[in-house]
Amino acid sequence: MTIPIESRNHALVLQVDEVKNVSIIYFGEKLAKPDEYAGIPQSYRQANDFTEVLNAAYISSGNRNLLEPAISVMHADGNHSLDLRYVNHSSENIGADVKLYTINLKDPVYPFNVKLLYKVYMINDVFEQWSIISHEEKKDVVLQKFASANLYLKADKFWLTQYHGDWAQEMQPETSRLTHGIKTLDTKLGTRANLLQPSVFMVGLDGPPQEDEGKVLLGAMEWSGNFRIDLELDFQDNLRIIAGMNNYASAYSLKPSEAFETPKFLYILSNSGKGNASRNLHSWARNYKILDGNGERLTLLNNWEATYFDFNEEKLFKLLTDTKELGVDLFLLDDGWFANKYPRNNDRAGLGDWQVNTTKLPNGIGSLVKEAKNNDVKFGIWIEPEMVNPKSELYENHPDWVIKQPKREEHYFRNQLVLDLSNPEVQDFVFKVVDDLFTENPELAYIKWDCNAVIYNAYSAHLKNQSHLYIDYVKGLYHVLDRVRAKYPKVPMMLCSGGGGRVDYGALQYFTEFWPSDNTDPLERIYMQWEYSNFYPAISMANHVTEWGDRPLKYRVDAAMMVKMGFDIVVHELEENDLKFCQEAINSYNDVKDVIWYGDLYRLADPKEKSVASLMYVSDDKNSGVLFNYLVKDRFGDRSAKPIKLKGLDAGKTYSIKEINLYPGRNSRIDGSKTYSGEYLMKIGFNPDVSGWRTSVVCTIQGVE
């Protein structure tokens, strides 16, 4: 029997044999006649699979499998063997465009069950896969590995694009050919899971991942803690991808009849490069995943780089006037507004004591919210509720709420420790931090949720079973966020982790946007946003114009405009023309933001390969677009020497192209009265005339009658 799990263009086909093994026989382009899938295995003459389970749908260990398993357990009687066989399957439509397939498996010897779940988003070709593990053994079963899913791919050769980074250096890509054996992408940091290695990746089949050509798979773990993705090229030259939570120090004791649900592994296949895959992923993310993904976003002025910890009510009142003057929607008060016994005047004290600092803000947050209202702008606030400075009342009163080894010296990351979110009391405390802010200030319009430390010395004073800590921490975090969202369903929240230390679709269900990096040097951001854009839509990525990198103001603004724009500069110190430029840019942004937020992204010229990076967004009806161009290398007078071929337009339509974001007094070198056919723009291209004198150029593309 075959079970085709089909999306609009693709099919993942499972097969059940006579002894009830379930295997993956195909993942690729969908066939018009589903009964032809069954014959696919006969067309291969690869080396003999003497294990007979190389392509298992969910590969288990302790049986005839000899390679990396997706699941590994120790039964109640101490036996390590698991063999999963087909019981039944079902499928149901759970939305106009969404179908859920369930495959039930069980061990013939032990009362041990696994449910494989496949959620297919038809139009976008997106698959989410996960598993639910349970048993009815006499005592606990220890889960030693518990992946969400495993995939099985066939191609002549495979290339992996993975990412690495650090603080302010997020999302650096590396592409390499996969050789036989296992390549593991993982993290053991507990929190800030993506700091050194994000859980997003691409696999190019038969060639490295390209923008518009070739077969490519994009994958991501929807989990905000330790993850592990094993890519194993086996002796038959096929690739298994096994993705899930990291089992590192996390053997999980599962009680009889308890269900262990793994997080979702997200993947999408494209036959026409990563551009197509990411457009589908963006549309899926906006429609189904990111909180309020098709909603509005607020432009803002943040005070982090403008003041750091050094502010008082008077200074903030001035910044509120600045917010209005600039023309953005909201003022975001960053770190430093709280704690009294150990005032938060630097990052060494006060974290955890969420009472307003009475020296800096004698009239409380309420007075700032009121003043914001007087200025006709909204007010938002920064919190980092999962963490604590040892120099704080919270730490003094609740040392048992802190993750640390009882008998070892403490080790700090940014002078702080992580609270034990596996403990329900701590969950209540964290929820209350948010809830109190909203209760006391009902007009609070935005939260920036930060997370700056990793877990060292993992130990919970609350948990009996220490190996549950990494997993129960994240479940505790999600539990708090569920409560926040139940009570405050739509308030915008930014997901921040000292930059992009925590960016994944598990967390983004609760957040409207994320902070890709503390590095706001526009040049670096162009590269980072480019890479993030493979997986995340522009509406979810925040970029604030700051002083980082000492680049021209226009270049900084143009780089921020490519995503969700904000500012973090001292507005009242701007020169007249700089202020005017920013104000006009915000007006222009308001005109084009719908295309940036909800349109289709086309990456045109890669900053890693070209001197001028270009990308564009196009509206659904292909009638309007925005084109961004940036000089990223300036040796030997580099410039846009050749026209840049646009994409995604209607070949038969006529368009005009006008430059926006011109610095006061500067004239455009682009003739906005000229018109071009879509065909011309896509086959011949358009030259935005980027050079050392015009290092960034932003244009609108408009269909004309």
Least separation, in Å, of the C-beta of 306 and ligand DGJ? 12
Given the complex with ligand DGJ, which of 515 and 530 has the nearer CB atom?
515
In sequence order, the 6+-apart residues with CB closer than 8 A to the CB of 327 are: 583, 586, 587
Given the complex with ligand DGJ, which of 143 and 496 has the nearer CB atom?
496
The answer to whether 268 and 125 have CB atoms below 8 angstroms apart is yes
Token pair, residue 579, equals 């202020």
Which spans in 542-575 are helix H? Answer: 553-561
Site stretch for ligand DGJ (CB under 6 A), options 112-120, 495-503, 660-668, 673-681: 495-503
Q: In Å, how far are 36, 125, 287, 676 from 280, measured between CA atoms?
A: 27, 7, 11, 28
Given the complex with ligand DGJ, which of 325 and 347 has the nearer CB atom?
347
Given the complex with ligand DGJ, which of 518 and 600 has the nearer CB atom?
518
The answer to whether 159 and 167 have CB atoms below 8 angstroms apart is no
Does residue 304 belong to the site contacting ligand DGJ (CB under 6 A)?
yes
Token pair, residue 692, equals 């050392």
Least separation, in Å, of the C-beta of 448 and ligand DGJ? 6
Least separation, in Å, of the C-beta of 555 and ligand DGJ? 21
35 burial class (0-12, 13-18, 19+ CB within 10 angstroms)?
exposed
Residue with tokens 């292909």: 622
Least separation, in Å, of the C-beta of 286 and ligand DGJ? 24
The answer to whether 393 and 460 have CB atoms below 8 angstroms apart is no
Given the complex with ligand DGJ, which of 518 and 659 has the nearer CB atom?
518
Q: Give the three-state DSSP class for 364.
A: helix
Give the relative orientation of helices 424-440 and 469-487 as an angle to the nearest 10 degrees.
Answer: 30
The answer to whether 657 and 625 have CB atoms below 8 angstroms apart is no
Among 125, 211, 329, 334, binds ligand DGJ (CB under 6 A): 334
Site stretch for ligand DGJ (CB under 6 A), options 247-255, 493-501, 503-511, 696-704: 493-501
Can you say how many angstroms the Cα of residue 622 is from the centroid of all Cα atoms in its chain?
27
In sequence order, the 6+-apart residues with CB closer than 8 A to the CB of 417 are: 387, 388, 389, 390, 395, 402, 403, 404, 410, 453, 456
Least separation, in Å, of the C-beta of 566 and ligand DGJ? 11
Among 68, 329, 335, 531, binds ligand DGJ (CB under 6 A): 335
The answer to whether 301 and 332 have CB atoms below 8 angstroms apart is yes
Does residue 498 belong to the site contacting ligand DGJ (CB under 6 A)?
yes
Among 195, 388, 496, 615, binds ligand DGJ (CB under 6 A): 496
Given the complex with ligand DGJ, which of 205 and 387 has the nearer CB atom?
387
Instruction: Give the C-alpha separation, 348 to 205, whole Å.
Output: 49
Least separation, in Å, of the C-beta of 351 and ligand DGJ? 9
Q: In Å, how far are 109, 250, 256, 262, 443 from 136, measured between CA atoms?
A: 12, 21, 5, 19, 50
Residue with tokens 């007009």: 443
In sequence order, the 6+-apart residues with CB closer than 8 A to the CB of 363 are: 313
Q: Give the three-state DSSP class for 22.
A: strand
Site stretch for ligand DGJ (CB under 6 A), options 116-124, 184-192, 215-223, 496-504: 496-504
Could you tell me where the beta strands, DSSP code E, fall in 30-157? 71-74, 85-95, 98-106, 112-121, 126-135, 141-153
Q: What are phi and psi of 554, to 5 degrees?
A: -60, -40
Which residue type is seen at 705?
E
Least separation, in Å, of the C-beta of 496 and ligand DGJ? 5
The answer to whether 167 and 192 have CB atoms below 8 angstroms apart is no
Does residue 107 belong to the site contacting ligand DGJ (CB under 6 A)?
no
Least separation, in Å, of the C-beta of 347 and ligand DGJ? 6
Site stretch for ligand DGJ (CB under 6 A), options 54-62, 310-318, 320-328, 491-499: 491-499
Contacts with ligand DGJ, 367-406, as mask; x by CB under 6 A: ---------------x------------------------
Site stretch for ligand DGJ (CB under 6 A), options 57-65, 237-245, 494-502, 595-603: 494-502
- Percent helix, strand and coil across the chain, each to the nearest 5: 25, 30, 45
Contacts with ligand DGJ, 413-452, as mask; x by CB under 6 A: -------------------------------------x-x
Window 223-252: residues binding ligand DGJ (CB under 6 A): none
Q: How many residues does the chain have?
A: 705
Given the complex with ligand DGJ, which of 383 and 605 has the nearer CB atom?
383
Least separation, in Å, of the C-beta of 525 and ligand DGJ? 13
Give the relative orientation of helices 553-561 and 522-532 as an angle to the nearest 10 degrees.
Answer: 10
Given the complex with ligand DGJ, which of 274 and 564 has the nearer CB atom?
564
Residue number closest to ligand DGJ, CB atom: 335
The answer to whether 325 and 572 have CB atoms below 8 angstroms apart is yes
Strand partners for 702: 624, 656
Window 336-365: residues binding ligand DGJ (CB under 6 A): 347
Residue 12: closest CA among 23, 24, 22, 20: 24
Does residue 163 belong to the site contacting ligand DGJ (CB under 6 A)?
no
Window 446-485: residues binding ligand DGJ (CB under 6 A): 450, 452
Size of the site for ligand DGJ (CB under 6 A): 12
Site stretch for ligand DGJ (CB under 6 A), options 257-265, 268-276, 492-500, 695-703: 492-500
Least separation, in Å, of the C-beta of 336 and ligand DGJ? 8
Least separation, in Å, of the C-beta of 153 and ligand DGJ? 37
Given the complex with ligand DGJ, which of 499 and 607 has the nearer CB atom?
499
Least separation, in Å, of the C-beta of 129 and ligand DGJ? 32
Does residue 125 belong to the site contacting ligand DGJ (CB under 6 A)?
no
Least separation, in Å, of the C-beta of 518 and ligand DGJ? 5
Given the complex with ligand DGJ, which of 492 and 499 has the nearer CB atom?
499
Contacts with ligand DGJ, 505-534, as mask; x by CB under 6 A: ----------x--x----------------
The answer to whether 545 and 585 have CB atoms below 8 angstroms apart is no
Least separation, in Å, of the C-beta of 299 and ligand DGJ? 17
Least separation, in Å, of the C-beta of 52 and ligand DGJ? 50
Least separation, in Å, of the C-beta of 165 and ligand DGJ? 14
Least separation, in Å, of the C-beta of 173 and ligand DGJ? 22
Least separation, in Å, of the C-beta of 352 and ligand DGJ? 13
Strand partners for 387: 418
Residue 23: closest CA among 134, 105, 128, 80: 105
Give the relative orientation of helices 364-374 and 424-440 as an angle to the nearest 10 degrees.
Answer: 40
Token pair, residue 159, equals 């290339």
- For ligand DGJ, the binding residues (CB under 6 A) are 304, 334-335, 347, 382, 450, 452, 496, 498-499, 515, 518
